[in-house]
Structure 1
Amino acid sequence: MGADSEIDNLVLYDGVCTFCNSSVNFILDHERHAQLHFTPLQSVKGQAILKQFDLPLDYTDSLLFLNKGALYSQARAAFRIAGFLEIPWNWISVFRFLPPFITNFFYRLVAKHRYKLMGQADACILPSPGVRNRFLE
């Protein structure tokens, strides 16, 4: 990837969250085409994007998705990412038509309890060699 303006289809995730890392692995396992790129929110690239979009540098409230210069969070990010997955997982994106106050309620409920559900790691997990080139840092 070149300059920041060229970054597209970037998933930003909480690198120390076991649930979030499992979600990234799920995406990698079920993606239709290798179009998505990944970086932890705690990485240098993640921190630069948080700063660029005026989010706190300790932001871990939501998975983020950077696409065509727009940054999506919470359920909107999840639904956009789901569109890159194979059938039947991409059907989740149909819920993007529901009002955000409904979808984000459920998103925040899971996000609030994610450390309790699956724990927390001491550091970001390293990607396997086969997909390492899709991780910016």
Structure 2
Amino acid sequence: MDAKADIAGPIILFDAECILCSANAQFVLTHDRKKRFRLAAMQGEVGSGLYRRFGIDPTNPDSIIVVDGDKMLRDSDAVLAIYAGLSWPWKALALFRLVPRVIRDPLYLFVARNRYRIFGKRKSCWLPSPDYRDRLL
């Protein structure tokens, strides 16, 4: 498999030191029955490379991103795309796309910028159980 095929999307890039972000990653792995998504920590080589590719500093990101080929979603659009890609009943949360982004994104960004203060930070990066390691880049 070549390097480009190896990072084919959709890939969720997340902060593996953030307790909220890690919990969301675990949630996705558990509820993504079709194994559609793969995950990459921003602290890892693949994750930091993809953040930089889209002009985001991987050492200080304020957003989760979803990368699918040359397309990138961020902020609340990324979160809603994740839920839309899961099975029912989680897919129903994608209805929040009807809420204008000017309302969704400030709320998302408040939580994202304060995630360590609100939810805490791990001393080391979270790693999934061996059952899911094939889905982590």
Q: Match of 2:127?
A: 126
1:115 aligns with 2:116: yes
Which position in structure 2 is the counterpart of 1:85?
86
Given the superposition, is the C-alpha separation of residues 52 and 95 from structure 1 closer, same or farther in structure 2, using an over 3 Å criterion?
A: same
Counterpart of 1:42? 43
The Cα offsets for residues 28-73 of structure 1, whole Å up to 9 and x where unpaired, read as: 1222311110010111111111221122231321111001321111
- Give the secondary structure class of the aligned counterpart of 1:42: coil
Question: Which runs of 5 or more structure 1 residues have no equivalent in the other structure?
Answer: none
SS of 2:129 mapped into structure 1: coil
For 1:1-137, what aligned pairs fall within 5 Å after superposition? 2-4=2-4, 7-136=8-137
TM-score (norm: length of structure 2): 0.90
- Residue 113 of structure 1 and its aligned partner are, at CA, apart by 2.9
Task: Report the alpha carbon displacement of residue 126 of structure 1 after superposing the two structures with TM.
Answer: 1.4
Larger relative helix fraction: 2
Contact 1:41 1:59 in 2 (8 A): no
Deviations 1:92-111 (A, max 9, x none): 11112322111102211222
The SS at the match of 1:38 is strand
Q: Name whichever of 4-13 and 22-31 sits farther off.
A: 4-13
Contact 1:50 1:56 in 2 (8 A): yes
Q: Which amino acid aligns with 1:41?
A: M
Secondary structure of the structure 2 residue equivalent to 1:104? helix
Report the aligned-residue RMSD.
1.6
Q: Distance in 2 between matches of 1:79 and 1:33?
A: 17
Aligned-pair CA distance for 1:81:
0.6
Q: Secondary structure at the match of 2:72?
A: strand
Q: Which amino acid aligns with 1:3?
A: A
Residue pair 1:65, 1:73 contacting (<8 A) in 2 also? yes
